[in-house]
Amino acid sequence: MTDVEAIRSGDRRALARAITLIESTRAADQERAEALLADLGPTGEGSWRIGISGAPGVGKSTFIEAFGLHALAQGRKVAVLAVDPSSTLTGGSILGDKTRMEHLSRDSRAFIRPSPSGGELGGVARRTREIIALVEAAGFDLVIVETVGVGQSETAVAAMTDIFLLLLAPGAGDSLQGVKRGIMELADLILVNKADGPLADAARHVVSDHRAAMSLMRPHEKFWTPRVEACSALTGAGIDTVWAAIGDYMAAAGEDGIAAKRRHQGAAALRDEVARLAIARLRDDPARRDLLARLEQDVASGATPLRQAARDLLDG
């Protein structure tokens, strides 16, 4: 059996091995990873790719446990991945959290993978896109990509998923001012978690504040007006509403809408990868590495205009 056949047959160890290959920085591993991805072909027909972001402590892990179990009950197979470029510092956002995903992580119909260890965001994002394809090939048809809100990682996750969820919770840092407007604009669904017990009232206020704020924003999908819902990952209240809202979104987009969105995302990822490759080649080329260093100084000092410097580097 080839590696790809093993992955398609649902062999979890083959899947884990392939992911390790993709995450490896060794040249020989990267060659094998590329060959494997070339064999993989298209994946993800009928899958749901869901991005989730939110500040530390809002309840992402607890939510993924509750939501993931709900998805299993609906007959889905759930894969959970993470984009966390800071994970060399934090030790990975999911790994330490697997305790909060106790039931999900023990279920044979679920697959949880901590984030690849650090590196620049572009590289982490590319590997995560590749890992999405792998888990889909292995039969997981609901892929959750979690990110802790650091820098541009929300944008990267929104650019590789079908729908982007922003999790909030009542309390510190969750006022309207607390969430960057740019991230709210990415959200297809804002979830106010911890809508339970003594926090229920505060959660209702956060919901109405954000409904008002979202109504002023221009929708970013033609087929969808972003929604704001309350839920409790702890009690499970509202998880069915979240499930229904995501279903509504996917239905509104339709198969063609999702396919078009993924095509655009793939094209953008290609452009990103070309830019990364061009820079990497400049750095690897001894002659142009020196030119790069010199031009970086010249641009900083104003001696050479930016666009001319860029042309000189690419043409040189």
Ligand X SMILES: Nc1nc2c(ncn2[C@@H]2O[C@H](COP(=O)(O)OP(=O)(O)O)[C@@H](O)[C@H]2O)c(=O)[nH]1
Using CB under 5 A, count the residues that bind Mg ion.
3
Instruction: Read off the amino acid at residue 130.
Output: E
Instruction: Read off the amino acid at residue 244.
Output: A
Q: 30 is written with which tokens?
A: 């990267």
Among 87, 147, 153, 232, binds ligand X (CB under 6 A): 232
Strand partners, 163: 50
Verify binding: residue 95, ligand X, rule CB under 6 A.
Answer: no
Closer Cβ to ligand X, 56 or 305, answer by number: 56
Segment lying near ligand X (by CB under 6 A), choices 41-49, 69-77, 193-201, 290-298: 193-201
Segment lying near ligand X (by CB under 6 A), choices 6-14, 58-66, 108-116, 248-256: 58-66
Q: How far is the CB of 66 from ligand X (least distance, A)?
A: 8
Nearest Cα residue to 4 out of 46, 50, 35: 35
Verify binding: residue 58, ligand X, rule CB under 6 A.
Answer: yes
Contact 62, 97 (CB under 8 A): no
Among 44, 54, 85, 92, binds ligand X (CB under 6 A): 54
Closer Cβ to ligand X, 57 or 173, answer by number: 57
Which position's Cβ is nearest ligand X? Answer: 59
**How far is 140 from 135, CA to CA, in rounded Å?**
6
Verify binding: residue 60, Mg ion, rule CB under 5 A.
Answer: yes
Phi and psi, residue 232, nearest 5°? -130, 110
Which element (helix H / strand E) includes 148?
A: strand 142-148
Segment lying near ligand X (by CB under 6 A), choices 7-15, 70-78, 122-130, 229-237: 229-237
The number of C-alpha atoms within 13 Å of 289 and in the hemisphere containing its C-beta is 6
Q: How far is the CB of 55 from ligand X (least distance, A)?
A: 7
Q: 182: burial class by Cβ within 10 Å (0-12, 13-18, 19+)?
A: exposed
The number of C-alpha atoms within 13 Å of 200 and in the hemisphere containing its C-beta is 7
Instruction: Read off the amino acid at residue 101.
Output: M
Strand partners, 87: none
Among 84, 97, 154, 162, binds ligand X (CB under 6 A): 97
Among 3, 23, 60, 246, binds ligand X (CB under 6 A): 60
Q: How far is the CB of 172 from ligand X (least distance, A)?
A: 12
**How far is 225 from 229, CA to CA, in rounded Å?**
13
Verify binding: residue 173, ligand X, rule CB under 6 A.
Answer: no
Verify binding: residue 200, ligand X, rule CB under 6 A.
Answer: no
Interface contacts to ligand X, rule CB under 6 A: 54, 56-62, 97, 100, 193-194, 196-197, 199, 232-234
Return residues touching Mg ion (CB under 5 A): 60-61, 97
